[in-house]
Amino acid sequence: MAKEGAEKAEETEQMIEKEAGKEPAEGGGGGGGGGSHRLGDAQEMRAVLLAGFGGLSKLRVSRKAMPEPQDGELKIRVKACGLNFIDLMVRQGNIDNPPKTPLVPGFECSGIVEALGDSVKGYEIGDRVMAFVNYNAWAEVVCTPVEFVYKIPDDMSFSEAAAFPMNFVTAYMMLFEVANLREGMSVLVHSAGGGVGQAVAQLCSTIPNVTVFGTASTFKHEAIKDSMTHLFDRNADYVQEVKRISAEGVDIVLDCLCGDNTGKGLSLLKPLGTYILYGSSNMVTGETKSFFSFAKSWWQVEKVNPIKLYEENKVIAGFSLLNLLFKQGRAGLIRGVVDKLIGLYNQKKIKPVVDSLWALEEVKEAMQRIHDRGNIGKLILDVEKTPTPLMANDSTETSEAGEEEEDHEGDSENKERMPFIQ
């Protein structure tokens, strides 16, 4: 199969270029900045390279050798990549056991199958797919094991497909596999305007009579108000606001912030309620890793007393999709979830919310937008997009963000909102 894939790779590349409105270049390499280049017998590709942990200056677009599929892998010509908050934390080195640099960031992408490794079944060259990748997603070509690859519906765009896996699988797993969401329950979700927050809201709408409480920056409220039952400012005393509406609290708390929000979340749980931690964005304040922010967030986390959980009939849990996939071998479980989610997409019950599209060369500006909590839905790196002249400046200036990244009235004017794609 690997031989077959190699023979058809040039044909597939020409098909991809045709879709993009380009004429195939001689020798099979793409023309301009969006295709592969041949150096002798070797082929190169564009990729976002993280040279070392730290600020935005550590990122650049570089050329590197194009990978070829190993046994059990697919080679994908990437069309779009998802940008997540975890990518920002990786850039800072703000994760447990960070990998060695230099590396190509990114954990999800969409594109066209270009070659098949030996023993791969169920896929053909030319298939439109989305995939999880254990790093290396932000490139023109990726190779990843077949168990992390999923075919996408005909009417799903590549940008939607790149916005789909991380957000919707995370939301589904927390709501239905961990917390057992059922009719009539209530959910509190932080960062309600983000990709996961919007996925949570849509999935909750598939169950009758679910009440969704959300927290988000004030400037996002108008855009997302219809997706939430009740919406609060992220800097407000949301505990009192929730209890004013529901004195007993909520059934499920989904927390991507950590810090003092852990104790607040536990205090809001009804008996038999579930608190799930799936991120720690409060540890990210400035452009680079901050020991003070880490220590403050750790210190503010309420120390959990198992006896108190027992007495109050409360459940506390954690969820990491990447660990579940790449360290704990649950790819089969995730495939079943993706199948269910695609079914909901085909029924028009869920749809990824894409905030904006960015060229690979604009990755610094895109990452700054996430850092500023300026996005509504998902930011996408569009591999074929031409950089906006003002955005392609490689000497991007960024200021240190303030404590807790608090948003104030009028901040939205400085965020240069990209068009919101419904």
- Global confidence as pTM: 0.82
User: Cα(first)–Cα(last) distance of the chain, in Å?
Assistant: 40
CB 72 within 8 A of CB 103: no
**234 vs 133, 189, 215, 231, 328, CA distance in Å?**
32, 11, 5, 9, 33
d(CA 176, CA 274) in angstroms, rounded, equals: 12
Pairing verdict, β 354-358 and 378-382: parallel
d(CA 202, CA 194) in angstroms, rounded, equals: 12
SS (H, E, C) 129-165: EEEECCCCCCECEEEEEHHHEEECCCCCCHHHHHCCH
The reported pLDDT for the residue numbered 261 is: 84
One-letter identity of residue 181:
L
Pairing verdict, β 315-318 and 269-277: parallel
Which range among 35-44, 178-187, 395-404 shows the weakest confidence by mean pLDDT? Answer: 395-404
The reported pLDDT for the residue numbered 136 is: 97
Residues 206-235 pLDDT 10s: 999 999 999 999 999 999 999 999 999 988
CB 258 within 8 A of CB 282: yes
d(CA 115, CA 104) in angstroms, rounded, equals: 21
**421 vs 132, 190, 376, CA distance in Å?**
23, 21, 9
CB 322 within 8 A of CB 165: no
The reported pLDDT for the residue numbered 228 is: 96
**What's the whole-number mean pLDDT along residues 381-410?**
54
Residues 139-198 pLDDT 10s: 999 999 999 999 999 999 999 999 999 999 999 999 999 999 999 999 999 999 999 999
d(CA 81, CA 109) in angstroms, rounded, equals: 4
Q: Provide Rg for the chain, Cα atoms.
A: 22
The reported pLDDT for the residue numbered 170 is: 97
Token pair recorded at residue 205:
């709408």
Question: 356: which strand partners?
Answer: 379
The reported pLDDT for the residue numbered 98 is: 84
Which range among 246-255, 317-326, 380-389, 403-412 shows the weakest confidence by mean pLDDT? Answer: 403-412
The reported pLDDT for the residue numbered 403 is: 31
Q: Which residues contact 179 (CB under 8 A, 6 or more apart)?
A: 251, 252, 274, 276, 317
Question: 381: which strand partners?
Answer: 81, 358
- Side-chain-side CA neighbours of 76 within 13 Å: the count stands at 35
Bond prior to 102 in cis (omega within 30° of 0): yes
Helix axis angle, 363-371 to 85-92, nearest 10°: 100
Residues 347-379 pLDDT 10s: 999 999 999 999 999 999 999 998 888 899 999
Residues 228-244 pLDDT 10s: 999 999 888 999 999 99
Residues 17-33 pLDDT 10s: 444 444 333 333 333 34
d(CA 334, CA 340) in angstroms, rounded, equals: 10
